[in-house]
């Protein structure tokens, strides 16, 4: 089965002189740690904090560089009822909650609670 690509910020980075982390990226890492079989379905790519994040923009087009972002392989299944954004012919999800909902529908993990 082809892998989808999950773009994340690294666990710690410098931004504006502070050492920080991305809460949405941490949320996804927590989900992957709870359900390690997810990792086998993904290519995980770390991107830097500065824009544009070239590996994402190269796949999705200029101005599309949010992290976390899940870019689906062309043959990967789509979850019914979930809206996938499109960029350069690629389907993607640009938020941790959307990604978690995709994982729930496609891989059987629990649904995220709340909005």
- Check whether 106 has a pLDDT greater than 70: yes
pLDDT, averaged across the chain: 94
Query: What is the rounded distance in angstroms from the CA atom of residue 28 to the CA atom of residue 36?
Result: 11
- Tell me the per-residue pLDDT of 67-78, one tens digit each, with 9 for 90 and over: 999 999 999 999
Instruction: Read off the pLDDT band of 51 (50, 70, 90).
Output: confident
Least confident among 39-48, 87-96, 106-115:
106-115
| pLDDT the model gives residue 111 | 93
Counting the structural domains of the chain, the total is: 1
Least confident among 10-14, 33-37, 69-73:
10-14
DSSP code, position 28 = H
The answer to whether 6 and 45 are in contact (CB under 8 A) is yes
| pLDDT the model gives residue 2 | 81
Is there a domain that residue 60 lies in?
A: yes
- Averaged pLDDT for residues 92-111: 97
Is there a domain that residue 115 lies in?
A: no
Is there a domain that residue 99 lies in?
A: yes
User: Could you tell me which residues come within 8 angstroms of residue 45 by beta carbon, excluding any fewer than 6 positions away?
Assistant: 5, 6, 7, 8, 55
Is there a domain that residue 113 lies in?
A: no
Is there a domain that residue 84 lies in?
A: yes
Which residue is it, tokens 């410098």? 14
The alpha carbon torsion through 20, 25, 30, 36 (nearest 10 deg) reads -130
What is this structure's pTM? 0.94
Query: What is the rounded distance in angstroms from the CA atom of residue 54 to the CA atom of residue 50?
Result: 10
Q: Determine the distance from the C-alpha atom of residue 87 to the mean position of all C-alpha atoms in its chain, rounded to a whole number.
A: 14
Is there a domain that residue 21 lies in?
A: yes
Is there a domain that residue 45 lies in?
A: no
Q: What residues make up the domain containing 22?
A: 4-40+54-107
Is there a domain that residue 112 lies in?
A: no
């Amino acid at each position: 089965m082809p892998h989808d690509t999950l773009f994340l910020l690294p666990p710690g980075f410098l931004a504006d002189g502070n050492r920080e982390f991305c809460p949405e990226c941490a949320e996804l890492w927590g989900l992957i740690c709870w359900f390690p079989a997810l990792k086998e379905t993904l290519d995980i790519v770390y991107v830097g904090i500065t824009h544009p994040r070239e590996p994402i923009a190269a796949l999705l087009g200029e101005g599309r560089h949010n992290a976390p972002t899940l870019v689906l392989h062309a043959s990967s299944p789509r979850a019914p009822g979930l809206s996938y954004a499109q960029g350069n012919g690629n389907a993607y999800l640009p938020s941790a909650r959307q990604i978690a909902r995709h994982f729930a529908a496609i891989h059987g993990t629990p649904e995220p609670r709340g909005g």
